[in-house]
Amino acid sequence: MLLALINYFLEYKKDIGSTTEIATFIAFIIGILTYHEHYYIAAFLSVVTTGLLALKRTLEMFAKNMSEEDLFAILKFALVTVVIYPLLPDKNFGPFDAFNPKSIWKMVVLVSVIDFTAYTVLRWKGTRTLWITGVIGGMISSTAVSYELSKLAKKFKTITYSALFGIVLAWLVMNFRVVILSGIVDFRVSVHLLFPLVVLSILYAAILLVILIKNRESITRESQQEIPFTNPFQITSALQFGIIYAAVIFTTKALQHFYGEKGVFVASFISGVIDVDAIILSLSNMVAHDSLDTSTAVRSIILAVVSNSIFKYIYIAVFGSRELVKNMTPFLVITLIFGGFYLLFF
């Protein structure tokens, strides 16, 4: 460590940088952690440090090209995701115990992540790679992706098809997320879900291919156009989603209070409006403990997927452009037809 400090002061006037010295210091800390058998923390620091060193040139270019507006956007993003979220109470409040500040803010964080990722991808690689946002976001929340990319498509008319591809890919990823989540709890449920959700995904891909072929010229023209960027992160957008999400939760719980949960299917439809993950895990857990048969659980999960798709389409219809809504309509229609057919005949 002493040699590293001496080397830093010798090269300080040359303005070479301090990356080597900092890496040496971190390596020293990793050694101490390993000696005291804190292996997981040491491994985590090793991976992060190696990754940062490997991306040194990229990060330097990113920092040089960063504007004051970008810096404020990053700070606001950190405020929403890192500072506020841990401080909120994880407790239900209000009528029907409908409002959980931590749960609602979690959705604000998710939207913030999708929003920030979308703008970062657009600035880094342009409109052609907006689909990356759909893939990444679909692993977290396809609802948040549908909301954010719809707003982008309405704001920037030239990215309509890029936003469309991102949303459809998020819906596709969600289908496989459903299979994986159910399989973690009970493998039998995921096996039965695999066929219908793969078929639905193939239908999505077929519709997307038709749109691609039919609108090839518009898509090519769109990918070559530049769009004017403004602030890459808007807190108001995330808060808007959080308010809508809270309103949906309140409405759902009010209906449950006054009319009750008449069976697993009604509960699945209502839960799917808010979030599919919770109902997937709970039903799969019931199957694992033999308190619910596999067939009922699978059909209930499919119903939750359908209701979630309806809810996402409403977001697209309200916040998206007409062109986006028109192109997303076939995906909702095929989801309703396929879901209804499966529930009636399987």
Name the residue with tokens 């991808």. Answer: 121
Residue 175 confidence (pLDDT): 94
- Who's near 155: CB < 8 A, 6+ residues apart? none
Residue 159 confidence (pLDDT): 82
Q: For the range 307-310, what are the long-range contacts, defined as Cβ-Cβ under 8 Å and sequence gap of 24 or more? A: 307/268, 307/269, 307/270, 307/272, 307/273, 308/142, 308/143, 308/174, 308/272, 308/273, 308/275, 308/276, 309/171, 309/335, 309/336, 309/339, 310/273, 310/336
Q: What is the mean pLDDT of each run of 10 residues along the chain (346 residues)?
A: 55 55 78 83 82 71 63 72 80 83 81 71 64 79 87 84 91 93 91 95 95 82 57 65 77 67 70 78 83 88 94 93 94 95 88
Residue 97 confidence (pLDDT): 80
CA atoms within 13 A of residue 2's CA, in its CB half-sphere: 0
Residue 60 confidence (pLDDT): 66
Which residues face 276 on adjacent strands? none
Chain-centre distance for alpha carbon 246:
18
Backbone angles phi, psi at 93, to 5 degrees: -130, 170
DSSP-H helix ranges across the chain: 2-11, 19-35, 39-54, 56-65, 68-78, 85-87, 101-125, 131-138, 142-155, 160-185, 187-214, 216-223, 235-259, 264-274, 276-288, 294-319, 322-345
Separation CA 295–CA 174 (nearest Å): 21
Residue 205 confidence (pLDDT): 95
Q: Tell me if 242 sits within 8 A of 97, measured CB to CB.
A: no
pTM more than 0.75 = no
